[in-house]
Each structure stands twice: as C-alpha cells, then as structure tokens.
Amino acid sequence: MTKPSKKMTDKLSRRLLAARTEIETLLGRTTEGSKPVDLDLPIGRLSRADAIQMQNMAELNRRQLEVKLKQVEGALGAVEDGSYGSCRSCHGEIHPARLEACPETPFCINCQEAFEQER
C-alpha cells in the first residue's frame, strides 16, 4: 500500500486541525439558532413557519457539522496512529488527490461510491 508522504500528511493534518477549530467554533455559534422555537411568541403564522424552518435548517447544519467533526477527528487519529491515507473500509489506498480535496475522508472513492449507492 502506498501511503501519502510525510510532507503531505503534515500539510493535511494542519488543514484538519484548522478545520476542527473552525467546526468547533461554528458549533458553538450555532447553539443559539437551534433553540426550540417559542410558539407563544406573538408572531404571525408565516413568520412562525419561517422560524421553524430556520430552526430545522440550523439543526440540519449542526448535524452535518457534527458528522464532519467526527470525520476530522477520525482522520487526525489516523494521522497519529500512522494509518492515515488508507480506507477505513477496504484498507486500500485513498488517492492523494482525494485526500487533497477532502482531507477528512475516511474512505476511498470506490467504497464511498458503494455507500452512496446503498442509500
């Protein structure tokens, strides 16, 4: 199995660390937006629906960020234990260009595509 070079792993792990900080900041900031909507607020029907929709979007966004944060942390763990760059599913090589585009990805393109087709 070919591993990404030390230089590349260093570079990508710096990006992962920056991404982790960014996501943690975002998650801290979005707490406000995902509070339950107070339905007793004297707002019109339309704006109440808007508020609920905004809440749902904030919730969705939050969940996506949490998934991404888990991937980033998983990738950082893999950097530490030396398994970074290998697919969590088939243990094959993740193409360096794929890591470059998406450093937190835990899967090679083949496995990723297989998962997406299952859905």
Applying CB under 5 A, the residues found at the interface with Zn ion are 87, 89-90, 92, 108, 111
Residue (76 or 108) nearer to Zn ion, CB:
108
Residue (23 or 94) nearer to Zn ion, CB:
94
Structure tokens of 4?
A: 């990404």
Backbone angles phi, psi at 44, to 5 degrees: -65, 165
Residue (67 or 90) nearer to Zn ion, CB:
90
The residues with which 86 forms a beta bridge, in sequence order, are 93
Nearest approach in angstroms of CB 72 to Zn ion is 19
**Helix, strand, or coil here: 38?**
coil
Nearest approach in angstroms of CB 74 to Zn ion is 14
Q: What gap in Å lies between CA 81 and CA 27, rounded to an integer?
A: 27
Nearest approach in angstroms of CB 91 to Zn ion is 7
Nearest approach in angstroms of CB 57 to Zn ion is 32
As a residue count, the chain comes to 119
Residue (13 or 106) nearer to Zn ion, CB:
106
Q: What gap in Å lies between CA 75 and CA 79, rounded to an integer?
A: 6
